[in-house]
């Protein structure tokens, strides 16, 4: 469970609220954001009707394992949304269109970093053209989606800390549409192109035998 839950009708970014707070085990939620942030400095359109929240964590994990947190956040969303798939590392898509984005940020000291996992889900809100909202597909309760994602995340997080990453990884792989596809991944150190073969033990994506730890993945046809 979370030690603190903060609800905002409007705030600039729940990730910023979480960072300001600076301690683990809190949840920040907003009905809309005026400066929602996406990965790579992009903006995240955050109008009313969507879900925007961030959790703060300080898990007793090795630094190299932190990417697993983002992956289990994506899994927790995907398992709450029928017909959805994970695009490595952390988008959730329906019919190839983005329904959820995740922005993880690291703060604090290296020995015990504070991880902020920010999640945006298109539920009944306006979204960019390549996106999709759940309400376009079926009747949906914002509250139910939120509660299901939080329940899933709490369970999956506990499993991760209990050393059950193997099971989690299998479930991620099963839902990951990138695996088996030809992909192009833009990483901080260059572009990798090839067949995505697996999610490996450490959460990286194996592309034609090479492990990719971070990047933006495009599915090629």
Nearer to ligand BTN, 85 or 91 (CB): 91
* DSSP string across 96-144: TEEEEEEEEEEES-SSSPEEEEEEEE-SSS---TTB--GGGTS---HHH
Nearer to ligand BTN, 25 or 167 (CB): 25
Nearer to ligand BTN, 121 or 165 (CB): 121
- Smallest gap from residue 9 Cβ to ligand BTN (A): 15
Nearer to ligand BTN, 86 or 103 (CB): 103
- Smallest gap from residue 112 Cβ to ligand BTN (A): 23
- Smallest gap from residue 94 Cβ to ligand BTN (A): 14
Angle at which helices 67-78 and 165-175 pack, to 10 degrees? 60
User: How many angstroms separate the CA atoms of 36 and 15, rounded?
Assistant: 8
108 Cβ neighbours under 8 A, 6+ residues apart? 22, 58, 114
Name the residue with the smallest CB distance to ligand BTN. 101
Nearer to ligand BTN, 38 or 194 (CB): 38
30 Cβ neighbours under 8 A, 6+ residues apart? 7, 8, 9, 10, 11, 14, 17, 46, 52, 53
User: How many angstroms separate the CA atoms of 183 and 127, rounded?
Assistant: 25
User: How many angstroms separate the CA atoms of 5 and 84, rounded?
Assistant: 27
- Smallest gap from residue 118 Cβ to ligand BTN (A): 3
Give the interface with ligand BTN as residue ranges (CB under 6 A): 13-15, 33, 36-39, 42, 44, 52-54, 91, 101-103, 118-120
Nearer to ligand BTN, 44 or 165 (CB): 44
Q: How many CB atoms lie within 10 A of CB 184?
A: 15
- Smallest gap from residue 164 Cβ to ligand BTN (A): 26
User: How many angstroms separate the CA atoms of 214 and 84, rounded?
Assistant: 22
């Amino acid at each position: 469970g979370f030690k603190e839950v903060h609800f905002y009708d409007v705030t600039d970014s729940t990730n910023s609220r979480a960072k300001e707070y600076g301690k683990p085990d809190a949840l920040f939620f907003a009905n809309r954001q005026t400066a929602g942030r996406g990965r790579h400095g992009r903006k995240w359109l955050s109008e009313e009707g969507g879900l925007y929240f961030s959790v703060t964590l300080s898990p007793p994990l090795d630094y190299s394992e932190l990417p697993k947190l983002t992956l289990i956040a994506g899994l927790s969303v995907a398992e709450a949304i029928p017909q959805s798939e994970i695009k490595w590392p952390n988008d959730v898509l329906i019919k190839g269109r983005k329904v959820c984005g995740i922005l993880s940020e690291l703060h604090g000291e290296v020995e015990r970093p504070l991880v902020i996992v920010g999640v945006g889900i298109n539920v009944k809100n306006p979204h960019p053209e390549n996106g999709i909202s759940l309400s376009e597909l079926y009747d949906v309760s914002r509250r139910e989606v939120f509660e299901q994602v939080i329940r899933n995340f709490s369970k999956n997080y506990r499993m991760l800390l209990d050393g059950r990453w193997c099971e989690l990884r299998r479930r991620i792989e099963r839902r990951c549409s990138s695996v088996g596809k030809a992909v192009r991944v833009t990483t901080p150190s260059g572009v990798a192109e090839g067949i995505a073969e697996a999610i490996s033990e450490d959460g990286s994506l194996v592309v034609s035998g090479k492990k990719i730890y971070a990047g933006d993945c495009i599915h090629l046809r």
